[in-house]
Amino acid sequence: MKKYFSVALTLGFALFAMFFGAGNLILPPFIGLQSGESWPLAIAGFFTTGIIAPFLGVLTIVLYGNNFTDLGRRIHPGVVKVLGLLIMLCIGPLVAIPRTGATTYEVGILPLIPSFNKVVFALIFFLIVYLLSASKSKIVDLIGNVLTPLLILSLGLLVVVGIFAPTAPSIATNLGQTKAFVAAFHEGYQTLDVLASVVFAGIIISAATQKGFTTPLQKFRVTLGAGLISMAALLFIYGGLIYLGAHAGISTSEDLSRTELLLRISHDVLGPNGTLIISVAVSFACLTTAIALCSAMGSFVEELSHSRISYRSAVIVTCLVSAFLSVQSVDEIINYAVTILGFVYPITFTLILTLLVFGKFIFSKTPYLVSLGVSTACALLAVLQNFGILEGPIGTFRAALPLYEHSLEWVLPSFGAFLLTLLFVGKNQKVKPSEGHD
């Protein structure tokens, strides 16, 4: 029991640090500022998409295999590999990893050394990332035992001081309680953690196996414990940062970016040293996430290529591409990522939800494939509308779908398609229960 708890604690801290990256740090204070006195509802909204949804992703993987590609047994190997590649490109060298470098530069370096060259910083940052992710066997222990305690210490100081000595009382805003929940719910998408969860789960399960938890039940128990510890840590930090934003005493009319708001709050709460503390927090948050993502990308490419491309080679290429893209600003990266994520997110979440809800008693592959096809179609319509292709007709059609106002118009059509298909093909076609991961 003692070994189980210590391993779950290490893995839980590692999972927290993997999730807690660039977007996770700059989003909550902005949510708090916008929600004002409705900050408890904002915490609930962000908790739903920023914490619970990623936890469900981890749970799905441990229930049905050891990594994301194992879901191919339940769906279709080719479909899962293509989706896995899209996810890895999003949370890897195209979006998430470059964003860690750009955020570290804007929040962690510029306030302290304004003249520091961005290209030089990118090279240094990703050289460190490469050196710390080159040996995948040490990734989880490094993050869980060394980097995460430093991250939690620096962020915890800001949160605790801010809670016990708030800068100003919270005030009413234009959002109100319902809109505060919805706005925070939407902001949770920007963390990318639902996409990352199905990849990080494989790293955690592999680490649990290396530590002696080899049976499916043992791996499930220790991964579940790690997930709960991670959720508790995320809730403390997210909730605290939202609270600080709500009590910042800053008018919503002030034209502050998310990174500027974070720096302003840290200075107001902790004084002149606040900038230094938040710089350290940002550096560790982004570094731990970049290491985890580079490691995940390396492992994925190695497996996908059947070891023709080595883990180390894939990590090198990932770091080089990420360094090149990270010289853009955070806002530039977010802007080009919106369309990509809007396509991949609904498909991934459909896979997670259908397996969690139906996976233990529906063994036919067809309903899952049809459901994924419908969510893909809904996501494709959104992409076409964003590019101005048939914008009017597509916009009218999407607006008529249930939950469109919450950017969840794919949910009911996907589940409806699953159930309708099930009526025609039955539940036991092709796949037997023994093929699952019980």
* CATH number of the domain residue 314 falls in: 1.20.1740.10
Task: Tell me the C-alpha distance between 369 and 346, whole Å.
Answer: 14
pLDDT per residue over 205-258, tens digit each?
Answer: 988 888 888 888 889 999 999 999 999 999 999 999 999 999 988 876 677 777
pLDDT band per the 50, 70, 90 thresholds, residue 124: very high
Residues 188 and 305 in one domain: yes
Q: How far is CA 222 from CA 71, 196, 225, 357, in A?
A: 20, 19, 5, 22
Cα-Cα-Cα-Cα dihedral sign, residues 243, 249, 250, 252: positive
Q: How far apart are CA 183 and CA 407, in angstroms?
A: 11
On whether both 277 and 362 belong to a single domain, the answer is no
Type of residue numbered 103? T
- Mean pLDDT score, 127-139: 77
**Domain-located, residue 232:** yes
| % of the chain with per-residue pLDDT over 70 | 92
Same domain, 314 and 367: no
In a shared domain, residues 228 and 125: yes
Is residue 278 located within the same domain as residue 383? no
Whether residue 375 has pLDDT greater than 90: yes
Amino acid 438: pLDDT: 42
Q: Which two tokens stand for residue 17?
A: 């640090």
d(CA 410, CA 383): 13
Question: What is the total residue count of the chain?
Answer: 438
Q: How far is CA 275 from the centre of its chain?
A: 25
Domain limit, last residue, from 302, 328, 354: 328
Rounded distance between C-alpha atoms, residue 162 and residue 237, angstroms? 12
- Of 277, 306, 328, the position where a domain reaches its end is 328
pTM over 0.85: no
Per the structure, how many domains does the chain have?
2
CA dist., res. 185 & res. 77, Å (int)? 32
Q: Based on the domain organization, do 58 and 194 belong to the same domain?
A: yes
Domain presence at residue 333: no
- What pLDDT is attached to residue 195? 87
Assess whether 129 and 185 both reside in one domain.
Answer: yes
Quick check: 432 pLDDT over 50? no
Of residues 329 and 426, more confidently modeled: 329
Identify whether the C-beta of residue 141 lies closer than 8 Å to the C-beta of residue 288.
no
The mean per-residue pLDDT over the stretch 384-395 comes to: 86
Residue-level pLDDT at 433: 44
Collapse the DSSP code of 322 into the 3-class scheme (helix H, G, I; strand E, B; otherwise coil) and give the result: helix
Same domain, 300 and 371: no
The strand ranges marked E within 339-405 are none
Tell me, yes or no, whether 311 and 419 share the same domain: no
Q: Which of the pair, 299 or 101, is modelled with greater confidence?
A: 101
Are 100 and 203 members of one domain? yes
Considering the domain boundaries, does residue 41 fall inside one? yes
**Residue 309 shares a structural domain with residue 201:** yes
- Residue 23 placed within a domain: yes
What is the average pLDDT across 329-350? 85
Provide the mean pLDDT of the chain: 85
**Start-end of H helices in 22-147:** 22-35, 39-47, 53-64, 77-89, 96-103, 118-133, 139-142
Same domain, 292 and 416: no
* Confidence category of residue 148, pLDDT binned at 50, 70, 90: low
Is there a domain that residue 321 lies in? yes
Range of the domain at 71: 2-328
Residue 204: name the closest of 67, 299, 70 by CA. Answer: 67
Give the end of a domain, one of 309, 328, 347: 328
